[in-house]
Structure 1
Amino acid sequence: MTLRRIVYAIVFYGGSTVYVLLGTIMAFISKELLARIAENWSWYQHRCMAAIGGVTVRIEGELPREALLYAIKHESYFETIDMPRLFDRPAVIAKGELLKIPLWGVVATRYGLIGIDRAGGAKELRALMKTGRAMAAAGRPIIIFPEGTRARPGEAPPLRSGFAGLYKLLNIPVVPIAVNSSAHVDRNGLPVRKGAVTYLVGETIPPGLPRDEAEARVHAAINALNLPGASGS
């Protein structure tokens, strides 16, 4: 591990401990203040990554910040933590194990992170649909990493079934977003190479399309930065 990565880990995770402690307190006092803490923590990662890791962020295309469904490529924990900075109180769908982390799990649950058990089957999907509908009704953007796991550079695993269910149930537009975070940070969010992580915003996909068409369009759009010579590579 390089010195830059060591310094980043010490500064970011040390500072994150303070945010988690504050968030734990606010989780039982004010959800509005908790949301501000989450956003500030997201900005903290952004600033640490730029100042220590030499990694910045750029957005290509127009990124709406409305209460829509956002399907995003997932290569690192970096983009997961970056979501509260990019959106207003996003409801992020993530693996349920994260909610079991002491203190952080309490904060994430109260904030509105939607934890799912990938082996939960139909019952888990029904719970996801119910929670997703409640979040959409509350006017919150819903973030899903439809491939279901952190992909390695160049990988394009198939979409998980949860995306199609949410798309059909919520009946709202989908904004697909490609990400090339693995070019500059590792799977765990530590900096490895200076440069700019790119979010490439794809064409908004309207609701009501046949499942195969919607999935094909989302899959192609979120993997656009995997193509040879793609912008941001």
Structure 2
Amino acid sequence: MRYAIQWVRSLFFNASMYIAMGVIGIVFAPFVLFSSRAAVFACHLYCDYVIWSARWMIGLKVEFRGTPPTKESMVASKHQSFLDVLALYGSVPRGKFIMKRILMYAPVLGWFGLRVGCIPVDRGKRGAAIVKMLADVKAGAAQPGQLIIYPQGTRVTPGVKAKYKTGTGALYRQLGQPCVPVALNIGLFWPKRGVYRKPGTAVVEFLEEIPPGLTQNEFMALLESRIEEASDRLNAEAGFVPRD
């Protein structure tokens, strides 16, 4: 019975997320047309709404630990569900993502993504897009910010091991910026598929910054060890026992 009640609560919460996205998108659309700051404000507002409403609608709290970066940097995080996307973006002043070019044409999501500085890329052309982004920031045509990436490239269920893609190391070398690793256990409460959301306290932890200047192999080894060790610790803290 308790599971059924929580499932229904989760269903209403999920519906409210999409309704809020549409409402905020429509209300802020005229302002976003003229101001990228309005787009950033609207996106932060949406992130805050989801995290706030999750607390009282489904009993899911999000706890933040560590210090989110405020200067230009790369943020490399575990990726387990849609909630970690919102938690990360809402934590930094000027977050941006690398997104598939086709998402440019998605209602609300694509337009606002472009306005906050997300980088649309075609398959195999990410390098050229990053070069242009750096040049635009240097020339004052784009705002500096925090580039959020997922080294494993996809959502990974807690306890499941997945390779860290070498493209992350190449991006680190290309940017020449510090990298802030992020560990989390959100997937224990908000799985990558399904309606059900589990009550509890999910943790997002910003870890010690990795300075620029390491070799690609050194960086990848350090990044993976820090994120995986901290994420395993957070999983254990929440009572998760991995299967053998």
SS of corresponding position for 2:51: helix
**What corresponds to 1:125 in structure 2?**
127
The structure 2 residue matched to 1:201, chosen from 198, 206, 210, is: 206
Q: Deviations over 1:60-118 (max 9, x none)?
A: 3333333221111101111112233201021123444433322321121122122345x
Deviation at 1:213, TM superposition (A): 1.2
Deviates more, 1:38-47 or 1:145-154: 145-154
Deviates more, 1:87-96 or 1:130-139: 130-139
Alignment pair present for 1:226 and 2:232: yes
Choose 1 or 2 for highest CA Rg. Answer: 2
**What corresponds to 2:53 in structure 1?**
48
Q: Deviations over 1:175-230 (max 9, x none)?
A: 10111111111215955211111112222111111111101111122223135964
Alignment pair present for 1:64 and 2:39: no
SS of corresponding position for 2:72: coil
One-letter amino acid of the counterpart of residue 46, structure 1: I
**What corresponds to 1:151 in structure 2?**
156
Contact kept? 2:120, 2:129, Cα under 8 Å: no
**What corresponds to 1:15 in structure 2?**
20
Whole-angstrom CA distance in 2 between matches of 1:188 and 1:114 = 26
Deviation at 1:15, TM superposition (A): 1.5
The structure 2 residue matched to 1:211, chosen from 206, 216, 222, is: 216
Whole-angstrom CA distance in 2 between matches of 1:156 and 1:212 = 19
Q: Deviations over 1:137-161 (max 9, x none)?
A: 7331111111111112222322223
Deviates more, 1:84-93 or 1:153-162: 153-162
Contact kept? 2:65, 2:206, Cα under 8 Å: yes
One-letter amino acid of the counterpart of residue 126, structure 1: A
Cα distance change of structure 1 residues 99 and 166 upon mapping to structure 2, 3 Å threshold: same
Aligned length: 230
Alignment pair present for 1:35 and 2:40: yes
Q: CA RMSD in A?
A: 2.5
Contact kept? 2:68, 2:92, Cα under 8 Å: no
Deviates more, 1:206-215 or 1:190-199: 190-199
The structure 2 residue matched to 1:73, chosen from 78, 82, 87, is: 78
SS of corresponding position for 1:156: coil
Cα distance change of structure 1 residues 16 and 103 upon mapping to structure 2, 3 Å threshold: closer
TM-score by length of 1: 0.87
